[in-house]
Amino acid sequence: MDRDLENLASIAVDCGFRLHETLGPGLLESVYEACLFQLLTERGLAVRRQQSVPIHFNGLILQEGFRADLLVEDQLLIELKSTEAHAPVHAKQVLTYLRLLDLKLGLLMNFGAGRFKDGIRRIAKDYYRGQPFP
C-alpha cells in the first residue's frame, strides 16, 4: 500500500526531531543514518539505506552513480548531513538525486545544526504539498 507522501514526510521529520533532541548535534552522519533508519522502521515504514542508484549517460551506465542515504517507501529521499550549516551544493545534490530517482520530494536533514528546525530543508521537484507545480 502506498502511503501518502506528505504523511511520510511528516513521520520522517518527527523521527528526525526526536533523534536530534535525544542525541544532539555533532555526531557522524553514519550514526544519525543508522538511528533514523531504526526509528522509521519502528514506525512501520519500508526503508532502504545506502541505496545504489545507477546513472545513465550517453550509452554509459555507471552502476554506482551515487548512494541515497535513506529511501522511504520508494517515495521519499532523505539525505543526511552533519555540518555546521547547509552549503548550497547540498540542496542541489538532493534535487539531482530526486531527478535521477524520478521522485518528487526529498528532505535534507543536517544534524550538525544547534536546533533541528535550523537543519531541515524540504526539497521538491515539480511538487508542492501534494499538488504538481503548474
Domain borders along the chain are 5-124
pLDDT at 1 over 60: no
pLDDT band at 39 (very low <50, low <70, confident <90, very high): very high
Whole-number Cα distances in Å, 44 to 12, 29, 39, 47, 98:
12, 23, 9, 9, 23
pLDDT at 15 over 80: yes
Q: What is the pLDDT of residue 88?
A: 82
Please choose, from the candidates 70, 83, 76, 77, the residue with its C-alpha nearest in 3D space to the C-alpha of residue 110.
83
d(CA 112, CA 13): 15
User: Could you tell me the pTM of the whole model?
Assistant: 0.88
**Would you give the DSSP letter of residue 31?**
H
Helix 5-23, helix 29-42: angle, nearest 10: 130
pLDDT band at 46 (very low <50, low <70, confident <90, very high): very high
- 5's torsion region: left (phi>0), alpha (psi -120 to 50) or beta? alpha
Section 60-81 average pLDDT: 92
pLDDT at 129 over 90: no
Single-letter code of the amino acid located at 2: D
pLDDT at 131 over 70: no
